[in-house]
Amino acid sequence: MTDSIELPFAKRTLANGLDVIVHEDHHVPVVGVNIWYHVGSKNERPGRTGFAHLFEHLMFEGSEHVAGGYFPPLQRAGASVNGSTNTDRTNYWEVVPTGAVDLALWMESDRMGFLLPAVTSERFETQRDVVLNERRQNYENRPYGLTHIALSSALYASDHPYHWPTIGAAEDIRAMQLEDVQAFFRTYYHPANASLAIAGDIETARAFDLAERYFGSLPAGERPAPVQAEAALTSEARLLLEDRVELPRLYIAWHSPAMFASGDAEMDLVSDLLGNGKTSRLYRALVYERRIALDVSAYQGSREMGSYFLVAATAAPGHALSELLSVIDALVQGVIDDGPTEAEMERATAQAEAHFVYRLQTVGGFGGTSDQLNAYNVFRRDPGYFTADLERYRAATARSVTDAARAWLRIDRRVLLSAVPKGQPALALPGSVRVAVS
């Protein structure tokens, strides 16, 4: 693979604080319009959660000059449209034919500057009910759907911004008032807290002109202060969650380095060698050779203030979670003691490089060029961090991967969650404490 992967761009900041990043790519007559707001569920507080995710819904319902909703005009123009919210950011994007870029930019600017006049009490209450129903479908009524809420509650203290789920607590969503929602929007959804990326079949000068035309007159707003919080475990915690599931599943979670921090890339590589694909150590031992698990995965959940490392495995019928834990612990200890093999390092690095290349195959959508430019701009203040980011993985060695695993995957500082069928608590790991999640 080539040593250099370029992602050329140009950046300007408008007078109101909006960062505008442009990437020209005339291979296909489409343009990706992508906007990030540096706000997620971590910008909420205990008892007042769910606001950022609610706006993911409200922002698609129309603004002052787009009364009929956000999807119909863009889809009639041939666009793909979506958005998402996580702990650290909210993003919205459109991939449009070149001739529809004005429409996409105008509509994005209208909901940035003129959303609140369209957020009536009726619309707010309707979307709040939609969110509550989504929470029931995706968390409360989905098998193993509450496990990540239980894990976050155990990994982070109740006042830590990563303690609650992005969708919010049900009681907080029900308690929201329209005035609270309006205040949250004014605080976070404005040019000074946003980054706009335009990538694809458009000249750079024209893209900047359009950004100025549609966004330049919007009031800046005040850039919010960064959220800062620390988290640590001082012992092992064993938890039991009874759920409407057929088979017990084991989750093991640790704190790990923050996104882009020292060791973050190495922990990504640890997750690859442990749980990525059928040649990974966990799959080979648990699923293929011993057949004591139906599935297994490992994941480095990189986040802005601090990440988590997660291993999950579903027990095969007739096998206990303690049996799974014993094998997992031995394999994790093997990484700590002996590190990865040369072949594993080559495979993991190649996988990382392939992932970076894959991101460049599309100008828009989740993970596409425009999304990457915004991610680096928001989290690193440098849209050109792409090459440096890739170099983190290329620079990793067997020794640095081993050191990261040794530092973070300690058996005395982790959360073990047994998710077991209702009425069968005996299937949990010994010493597990029952938790209730709603």
293 in the same domain as 197: no
Q: What are φ and ψ of residue 256, in 5° steps?
A: -150, 175
Q: pLDDT tens digits, residue range 207-261?
A: 999 999 999 999 999 999 999 999 999 999 999 999 999 999 999 999 999 999 9
Number of domains, the chain: 2
Q: Which residues pair with 313 in a beta bridge?
A: 250, 296
339 in the same domain as 387: yes
- pLDDT, residue 3, reads 62
97 in the same domain as 61: yes
In a domain, 146, yes or no: yes
pTM over 0.85: yes
- Tell me what the mean pLDDT of segment 173-194 comes to: 97
- Tell me what the mean pLDDT of segment 40-51 comes to: 97
Q: pLDDT tens digits, residue range 374-418?
A: 999 999 999 999 999 999 999 999 999 999 999 999 999 999 999
> Directed axis angle between helix 398-408 and helix 264-275, to 10°?
90
Q: Is 294 a residue whose pLDDT tops 80?
A: yes
- What residue numbers bound the domain in which 189 lies? 10-215
Helices and strands of the chain, counted as H and E runs: 15, 12
Q: pLDDT tens digits, residue range 330-387?
A: 999 999 999 999 999 999 999 999 999 998 899 999 999 999 999 999 999 999 999 9
410/251 Cα distance (integer angstroms): 15
CATH of the domain at 158: 3.30.830.10
Strand order in the sheet with 433-434: 293-301, 307-315, 249-256, 415-421, 237-243, 433-434
140 in the same domain as 53: yes
The confidence band for 64, taking pLDDT boundaries of 50, 70 and 90, is very high
The three-class DSSP label of residue 15 is coil
70 in the same domain as 149: yes
